[in-house]
Amino acid sequence: MSGFASSSLARAALSRLFEPSDTVGLGLVSLVGPVDALRVARREIGTGHELTRHLCEALGVGERPNLLEEGLARWAPRLGDLAPERDLATLARLGGRLVVPESEEWPEALDDLQVSAPLCLWVRGRHQVPGIERLAALVGSRDSTTYGSSVTTDLASGLTARGFTVVSGGAYGIDAQAHRAALATTDDRDAPATIALLASGVDRYYPAGNEELLRAIAERGLLISEVPPGSSPTRWRFLQRNRLIAALSAVTVVVEARWRSGALNTAHHAGELGRPVGAVPGSVQSANSAGCHRLLRDGTAVCVTDAADVAELARPLGGESGDSARDEASPARDHDGLTIPDLLLLDGLPVRASTSVDKLSSVAGLSTKDVIGGLARLELAGLAQRSADGWRRQKG
C-alpha cells in the first residue's frame, strides 16, 4: 500500500484509524488536511515542535509537547489494518456511498461541531441526506413503557405527516418505535422516511433484534455511521454517535429517559449546539420519565406533548410556526382577535331580541360613542345585525 492520494480515500482510512471524535486526530486533519494527516500518522512526515504547537493552539489545550506523539502511539497498532479501498468496495456492494465535507451532499449542520465534526459519513440508502430544517430526532429509553411507545408513535407519525424525517439511533425501545412509526406512516417519497445513526458499521445490524427494522431503514430511509464497515459498536462510539444525532437535527425530543440515560447525553449535545430540545412529561411515579423531568427542571428542554409542538420548536424563526392540523382541530371562535371593549359589547348583544344603543352602553359599561363604533366593527365582522328594533347578535 504505497499511499492514499485522494482526500476521500484518506478520510476513509482515517475513519478507521481514529476513534470517533479523537480531537487530536481531527485537529491534525483541520491543520494539514486528510492526506498529510495520514502521512503524519504513518510517520512519512516528521511532526516537529512547530506542528505540535499549532495543534495545541487549535485544540486550546495549552502547551503539551507530547500531544502529537501520544496520538501517534495510539494510532500505530491500527496502521496495518488500513484498507480503505476494501471498505469502500464493501460499501458499494451495499448500495452505499462515502459522503465527505467536500461532497455536495455533506450536511452543513455537522460543521457546527467544529473540530469534533466527523471525518466522513458512511451512508447506506438511496436517498440524499435532507437539510437540517426537515430533520427531527426522537430518542429515549431502551426499556420504554407502553406510554412511551404510544407517545413516540404519535410524534413520529405526526412529524412525517408534516414532511419531517425522523432521526434516531436504531436501538431498542423509543428509538426502534420512532423508526417503525415513521416507516409505517410514510409512503415512498423523495426524502427518507427515517434515518438511523449507528455506532457500528452500516453493514452490521446492531442490536441483532432490530435486524429486520434496520434492513427496512436501509431500503426506505438511511443508515449512517462515521465508522467504516465491519466496525463494532462500543460504549464510546454510542456516546459519540449521540452528538451526530443532535447536530443533524433541527430539534431533539426526549420521549422517555431514566435519571441517567444516554438520551440525556444527546439532549445535552443539542443544547450545547444551540439546537432546541423538547421533553415529553410523564408520570412523577415513573422512573422512565425522571430524565425528562430533569431536563424540564434544569431548563435544558421545553415541554412538548404532540407533533405540532415539535414542529413549532423545530422552526422557531420560520414563517410556518403555526400548525394547520391543530388549527383545524380548534376552529376559530367569534371573539378571536377582538379588543376588550368589543368583547364586552359582543357579550351584551342578545341573540333573539333586539336592544338599543343606550341599553348596550349600560350593559357593557361603555360610552355611547364606544358602543356605536364597536357595533360598526362587529357588523363588518358579521357578528352584529341591525334591525328596525335595534341591534342583536348575528347568528352563526
- Summarize pLDDT for 332-348 with one digit per residue, the tens: 565 666 888 888 888 88
CATH number of the CATH domain containing 372: 1.10.10.10
What is the three-class DSSP state of 162?
Answer: coil
**Whether the Cβ atoms of residue 221 and residue 195 lie closer than 8 Å to each other:** yes
* pLDDT tens per residue, range 242-294: 999 999 999 999 999 998 888 999 999 999 999 999 999 999 999 999 999 99
Q: In terms of domains, do 165 and 249 share one? A: yes
Q: In terms of domains, do 199 and 344 share one? A: no
Q: In terms of domains, do 52 and 4 share one? A: yes
Q: Is residue 324 part of a domain?
A: yes
Q: pLDDT band for position 190 (50/70/90)?
A: confident
Question: Is pLDDT of 319 > 50?
Answer: no
Q: In terms of domains, do 74 and 128 share one? A: no
How high is the mean pLDDT of the chain? 90
Distance CA 38, CA 28 (A): 9
Residue 312 CA, distance from chain mean position: 13
Q: Is residue 95 part of a domain?
A: no
Q: In terms of domains, do 347 and 323 share one? A: no
- Confidence (pLDDT) at 331: 54
**Whether the Cβ atoms of residue 144 and residue 282 lie closer than 8 Å to each other:** no
- Confidence (pLDDT) at 334: 59
For residue 37, give its domain range: 1-82
- Last residue of one domain, picked from the residues 52, 82, 112: 82
- For the record, the C-alpha cell of 20 comes out as 470517533
Q: Is residue 96 part of a domain?
A: no
**Whether the Cβ atoms of residue 364 and residue 347 lie closer than 8 Å to each other:** yes
Q: Is residue 106 part of a domain?
A: no
Rg, the chain, Cα only: 29
Show the DSSP H helices in the chain as ranges: 7-17, 23-32, 34-41, 48-59, 67-75, 84-93, 146-161, 174-184, 211-220, 235-248, 262-272, 290-297, 307-314, 324-329, 340-348, 357-364, 368-380
Distance CA 272, CA 251 (A): 13
Q: Per 3-state DSSP, what percentage of the chain is helix, strand, and coil (rounded to 5)?
A: 50, 10, 40
Q: In terms of domains, do 301 and 385 share one? A: no
Q: In terms of domains, do 347 and 302 share one? A: no
CATH number of the CATH domain containing 168: 3.40.50.450
Q: Is residue 370 part of a domain?
A: yes
Distance CA 296, CA 43 (A): 50
Q: What angle do CA 109, 255, 192 make, to 5 degrees?
A: 45
- Last residue of one domain, picked from the residues 299, 328, 357: 328
* pLDDT tens per residue, range 364-376: 888 888 889 989 8
Which DSSP string corresponds to 252-265? EEEEE--SS-HHHH
Q: Is residue 177 part of a domain?
A: yes
Distance CA 239, CA 246 (A): 11
The one-letter amino acid code at 140 reads: G
- Last residue of one domain, picked from the residues 273, 294, 328: 328
Q: In terms of domains, do 215 and 256 share one? A: yes
Q: Which residues contact 37 (CB under 8 A, 6 or more apart)?
A: 10, 14, 25, 28, 29, 31
Q: In terms of domains, do 346 and 205 share one? A: no
* pLDDT tens per residue, range 63-103: 888 889 999 999 999 999 999 999 999 999 999 999 999 99
Q: What are the angstrom distances between the C-alpha of 223 and each of 79, 170, 192, 263?
A: 27, 9, 10, 19
Q: In terms of domains, do 318 and 344 share one? A: no
Considering its fold, how many domains does the chain have in total? 3
Question: Is pLDDT of 394 > 90?
Answer: no
Q: Is residue 90 part of a domain?
A: no
Q: Is residue 115 part of a domain?
A: no
Give the mean pLDDT of 141-161: 95
Q: In terms of domains, do 161 and 304 share one? A: yes
Q: In terms of domains, do 40 and 127 share one? A: no
